[in-house]
Amino acid sequence: MRTPIRLLMAGLGIGPRIVLVFVLVFGCMGSVGLLLMRNSLLPTFDSMEHSFAQEGAKRVVSLFDQEMVSVGNQNRDWAFWDDLYQHMQRPNPVFARSNLGAEAMQSSSLHAIMLVDLQGRVVGFGPRAFSGGAQAQAPDLLAPLLQRWARFPVQPGVTECGMARVAYALNAVCWTGIVQSNGKGPAVGTVVMARELDAHTLKHMAQFAGVTFTLEQLGANHTSAPLPGMLTWELPALQYLPKRELYAEFSKDAMAMQYLLRDLNDTPLSWVRIRMHRELMEQGRRVVVNVLVQLAVLAVATGLVLLMTVHWWLVRPIARLRSAVADVSATRRWDQTLAYERPDEIGALTQGINSLLAVLHEQVGVLETLSSTDALTGIANRRQFDERLAHELVRLGRHSAPLSLLLLDVDHFKLYNDHYGHPAGDAVLRQLGGLLRASCRQQDLPARLGGEEFALLLPDTAAAGAAAMADKVMKALAALAIGHERSLTAPHVTVSIGIVTWSEVLDGGAAELFAQADKALYAAKHSGRQRACVYGTPAVPKL
């Protein structure tokens, strides 16, 4: 069963090796191009995705730091507030009610404001309910601060921040030593502020960062160590978050990053887990596949165009040239000339073939002449005589025109050679061949059958005409008067002739005709030579 590709190849006249070469070349080109593109494009997408993931994670972590910066700014404003400074020296109920009361806290973005004196006692507390409904309690907020202050005492006018879990809620906590607005004077206490990072705040942070993340609170079943095999990236320095390690893990379809939040006492608090889909790599792989398909289509289209071009400009002309050469070879008509109209290599090849055909025609003509001509006398040889005799017998079978054959033999030629030498004998044969050629008509065939034996094939010639031809030949030879001292018949060279005439083809064909002529020749020799004898009649007397 022939496949479409084989049908196309057969229709175009293209060999399988040419198609195989095109397939291999374009396959190698496409494979190398795809490999180079894959090795350059996918790593680029991977690097871009790493950078994008790192930037997204940095935005998320920095937003936690920004929450503390925001709380810290409010905290610092309060710490340099002269009214608060005076309130810490002489408590003012009006000040406490207007700034720490329920209404004031409800309208505030803070969830707790706590005033602590120099002895670490809470002298003012403004709570606000967390999102879970729990109420902030001063001891819950003060306890982690006291642990911190025991190691790092509060500095007047210096704002510090950290993360803390108060009443199970994650808070950004900041504190500043309370001083006068001009920064002079001793500190009179510390103002502490806390803001819950509730679900609404976290959602707003994710929208602002453009990255989805979750918080995983550390508990008994959670570890603060990163997973094995995760990469470690270093984030830029932040204002309040002390740790800069970001851990990342990449799979085929996703990127997972995590950052460990620590509280104000550097105790692991929560994992910030960021998961991003690897859209760039997916897009890169799609680009590679699309380019592969496009390259394949382009390669097929280009290959077809090239194959068609090769077909029209090379295969088709060569096929025509091959067919023309095959026709010349089959017909053996070496005189033909192949047509050429192209000025390119195909035309040059055609001209070269025409030149070879011309030489071949000339050589074949020479060979045919040599193969059908007697080299000594220049008349037909036995081969050409046999071919012509067969042809004339076929013609005689179709037409009623008579056919005559004369066999001639030089009398006592051996004696001539022995006396005068073979060169002289060859000269006699050449003269006799020229005489026969001059005596014949155009349609007659003189031939040397071998040695001193000659023949005349006379188409359309009856017995009388054949006898007249014999008489003409003998008279012309007598006129030459070639001396023959050793001849037993005459003082000059003579011939004996046997004649046979057919008006129809008899059984035995050419062999029978030749046998009858030979019998007539024998009769002429037996009757004394130098005479002609017609088959079936008495010998003609010698001249």
**CA 135, 136, 137, 138 torsion-angle sign:** negative
For the residues of 41-108, what is the DSSP string, one character each? HHHHHHHHHHHHHHHHHHHHHHHHHHHHHHHHHHHHHHHT-HHHHHHHHS--HHHHHHHHSHHHHHTS
Domains along the chain?
Answer: 20-299 (3.30.450.220), 332-369 (no CATH), 373-534 (3.30.70.270)
Among 186-195, 327-336, 532-541, the range of highest mean pLDDT? 186-195
- Looking at per-residue pLDDT, the higher value among 411 and 223 belongs to 411
Q: What is the pLDDT of residue 364?
A: 66
pLDDT, mean over the chain? 85
> By the 8 A CB rule, do 457 and 445 touch?
yes
Full-model pTM:
0.53
For the chain, the residue count is 543
Q: What is the pLDDT of residue 255?
A: 84
Single-letter residue type at 467: A
What are 233-271's pLDDT values in tens digits? 888 899 999 888 889 888 777 888 899 999 999 999 999
Mean pLDDT of 439-454: 93
Q: Percent of the chain scored above 90 by pLDDT?
A: 50
> By the 8 A CB rule, do 154 and 190 touch?
yes
> By the 8 A CB rule, do 52 and 204 touch?
no
